């Protein structure tokens, strides 16, 4: 096992990884930009190394500086967290070249799944169902119109290397197709350095369901059941729960088998997530995330596993300590992402200083955060400041625990999504396990969430 691990990330995921490292008796190294010098993840680590200015291109995306930080501190491995360099195969290769272990899958598997076109082709050949569409790159022009007509409108124009809601545009008809393709290509180029776009059928109101998998380097592979991530805004997740409230046992078994088949098609090991769309009884592969997910805590609460620990053990060459029959779901878990944003103002970010921060407590509540009272939330990074996660014997009990936890959570000095979550968890749409798409898209309803800003029990 490793003696020291560098965490190549910031915020709540860096803190969360460091907590597991400490419990495992492994020393942690933080890296930080100038503006993050006094942040919680730096204070949590055993030691820290500055790596540049605030913009991520000058710090957290600097592979050379991060590798040098690991070597200079004597770290044997690097945990990338999520976002930033976590799915960058060149980062994994740079780690290997420097004699460092990358805590994640192989660069080849990452590369295969980083391209949505190649991923679709790979899993489809393995018998995994994919959303109807094409795998050939398209450009505005006659061929794109012919392809869209064959698929059937509405169609989604998707950047081949996109993710997190970036590089995704919908065309409801031929008159919207050129703009959708150009918009997806532009975002693909801007955010991922790849303007390649493909088309697939846009499903109007599917459930976004994903399956957690983990494999080791000895050929063992299991799934850890599914999460429902249907509550989103602009294709970015807001609320997640495990298990999916509408799946039958037979569907759950089938989805798990599909996810394992997709991962094996990519010669995968480590922690990963197979994301898909559930439309009625049909489940379609969407993409595979080759890293730990933001929403991994809900899986941890219903399975009793520490996914980061399992990820580290796999990277150290250990075989999985459990097989598929030994993994069980117990109860239900819900996660609400607390972003520094105002839902009432169209999810506008609100960086600033946190004047007061009080987290909920109790044996059914978990809070993962990267901030503390008095900390500043800089404008340079993702606005996620904390995640509130609750557990219950069933969905109703988990939701009741969440409503209580949200009412007990206090963040002052900056806007947050707390009012949004309080209103959402009180809605009929949530109660009946709807996707809540109509609510999240309703500007009037979003403005009304401000009425929940000072709600307390």
CA gap 317, 170 in Å, rounded: 43
Residue-wise pLDDT tens digits, 365-413 = 999 999 999 999 999 999 999 999 999 999 999 999 999 999 999 999 9
Sign of CA pseudo-dihedral 433, 438, 441, 442 = negative
Most confident of 17-31, 128-142, 169-183: 17-31
CA gap 187, 166 in Å, rounded: 6
Q: Which of these CATH numbers, 3.40.50.20, 3.40.605.10, 1.10.300.10, 3.60.20.10, describes 4-103?
A: 3.40.50.20
Q: DSSP string covering 171-197, please? A: ESSHHHHHHHHHHHHHHHHHHHS---E
Residues of the chain with CATH 3.30.470.20: 207-452
**How many Å is the maximal CA-CA distance in the chain?**
60
What does pLDDT average to over the chain? 94
CA gap 323, 325 in Å, rounded: 6
Residues of the chain with CATH 3.40.50.20: 4-103
Would you state the structure tokens that stand for residue 433, as one six-digit string?
């396990």
Q: Which amino acids are annotated catalytic?
A: 291
Residue-wise pLDDT tens digits, 189-214 = 888 888 888 898 888 888 999 999 99
Contacts of 165 (CB under 8 A, 6+ apart): 232, 234, 235, 236
Q: What are phi and psi of 50, to 5 degrees?
A: -75, 140
- Residue 118, CB-side half-sphere exposure with 13 Å CA sphere: 12
**Integer CA distances (angstroms), 455 to 239, 398, 406, 430, in order:** 19, 19, 9, 19
Q: Which helix (H) or strand (E) segment is 144 a member of?
A: helix 142-151
CA gap 75, 265 in Å, rounded: 32
In contact, 285 and 276? CB cutoff 8 Å: yes
Checking if the pLDDT of 456 tops 60, the result is: no
388: three-class secondary structure by DSSP: strand
CA gap 36, 52 in Å, rounded: 10
**Integer CA distances (angstroms), 86 to 120, 162, 290, in order:** 21, 14, 8
Q: What does the chain come to in residues? A: 457
Residue-wise pLDDT tens digits, 33-78 = 999 999 999 999 999 999 999 999 999 999 999 999 999 999 999 9
**Integer CA distances (angstroms), 356 to 42, 252, 375, in order:** 20, 42, 9
Q: Which of 251, 374, 388 minimizes the C-alpha distance to 333? A: 388
Mean pLDDT across the stretch 432-438?
Answer: 93
Contacts of 79 (CB under 8 A, 6+ apart): 5, 6, 7, 8, 9, 17, 21, 103, 308, 311, 312
Q: DSSP string covering 335-355, please? A: EEEEESEEGGGTSEE--EE-S
Determine the straight-line distance between the first and last CA of the chain, rounded to whole angstroms. Answer: 46
Residue 457: predicted pLDDT = 37
3-state SS of 231-296 is EEECCEEEEEEECCCCCCHHHHHHHHHHHHHHHHHCCCCEEEEEEEEEECCEEEEEEEECCCCCCH
Q: Which of these CATH numbers, 3.50.50.60, 2.102.10.10, 3.30.1490.20, 3.40.50.970, describes 132-201?
A: 3.30.1490.20
Name the CATH topology of 207-452: D-amino Acid Aminotransferase; Chain A, domain 1 (3.30.470)
Residue 389: predicted pLDDT = 98
Residue 270: predicted pLDDT = 98
Q: What are phi and psi of 285, to 5 degrees?
A: -60, 135
CA gap 440, 457 in Å, rounded: 25
CA gap 59, 48 in Å, rounded: 14
Residue-wise pLDDT tens digits, 334-362 = 999 999 999 999 999 999 999 999 999 99
Mean pLDDT across the stretch 168-179?
Answer: 91
Confirm whether pTM is higher than 0.95.
no
Would you state the structure tokens that stand for residue 14, as one six-digit string?
């860096």
CA gap 293, 183 in Å, rounded: 26
CA gap 128, 428 in Å, rounded: 35
Residues of the chain with CATH 3.30.1490.20: 132-201
């Amino acid at each position: 096992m490793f003696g020291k691990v560098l965490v190549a990330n910031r915020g709540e995921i860096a803190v969360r990884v460091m907590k597991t490292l400490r419990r495992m008796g492994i020393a942690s190294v933080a890296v930080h930009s100038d503006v993050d010098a006094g942040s919680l993840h730096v204070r949590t680590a055993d030691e820290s190394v500055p790596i540049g200015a605030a913009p991520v291109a000058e710090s957290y995306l600097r592979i050379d500086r991060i590798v040098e930080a690991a070597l200079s501190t004597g770290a044997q491995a690097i945990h990338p967290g999520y976002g930033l360099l976590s799915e960058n195969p060149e980062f994994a290769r740079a780690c290997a070249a420097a004699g460092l272990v990358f805590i994640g899958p192989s660069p080849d598997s990452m590369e295969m799944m980083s391209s949505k076109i190649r991923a679709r082709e790979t899993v489809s050949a393995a018998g995994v169902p994919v959303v109807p569409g094409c795998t050939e790159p398209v450009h505005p022009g006659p061929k794109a119109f012919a392809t869209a007509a064959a698929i059937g409108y509405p169609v989604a124009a998707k950047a081949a290397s996109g993710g997190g809601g970036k590089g995704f545009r919908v065309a409801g008809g031929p008159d919207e197709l050129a703009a959708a393709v150009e918009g997806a290509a532009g975002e693909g180029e801007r955010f991922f350095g790849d303007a390649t776009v493909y088309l697939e059928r846009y499903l109007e109101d599917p459930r976004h369901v994903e399956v957690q998998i983990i494999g080791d380097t000895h050929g063992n592979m299991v799934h850890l059941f599914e999460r429902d991530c249907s509550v989103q805004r602009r294709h970015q997740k807001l609320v997640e729960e495990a298990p999916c409230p509408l799946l039958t046992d037979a569907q759950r078994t089938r989805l798990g088998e599909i996810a394992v088949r997709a991962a094996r098609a990519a010669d995968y090991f480590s922690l990963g997530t197979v994301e898909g769309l559930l439309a009625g009884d049909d489940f379609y592969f969407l993409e595979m995330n080759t890293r730990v997910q933001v929403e991994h805590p809900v899986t941890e609460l219903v399975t009793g596993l520490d996914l980061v620990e399992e990820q580290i053990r796999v990277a150290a060459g250990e075989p999985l300590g459990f097989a598929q029959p030994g993994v069980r779901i117990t109860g239900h878990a819900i996660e609400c992402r607390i972003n520094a944003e105002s839902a009432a103002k169209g999810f506008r970010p609100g960086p600033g200083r946190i004047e007061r921060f009080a987290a909920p407590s109790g044996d059914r509540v978990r809070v993962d955060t990267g901030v503390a009272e008095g900390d500043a939330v800089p404008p340079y990074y993702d606005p996620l400041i904390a995640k509130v996660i609750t557990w219950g014997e069933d969905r109703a009990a988990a939701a009741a625990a969440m409503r209580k936890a949200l009412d007990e959570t206090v963040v002052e000095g900056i806007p947050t999504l707390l009012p949004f979550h309080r209103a959402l968890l009180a809605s009929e749409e949530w109660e009946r396990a709807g996707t809540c798409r109509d609510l999240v898209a309703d500007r009037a309803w979003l403005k009304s969430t401000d009425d929940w800003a000072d709600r307390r029990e």
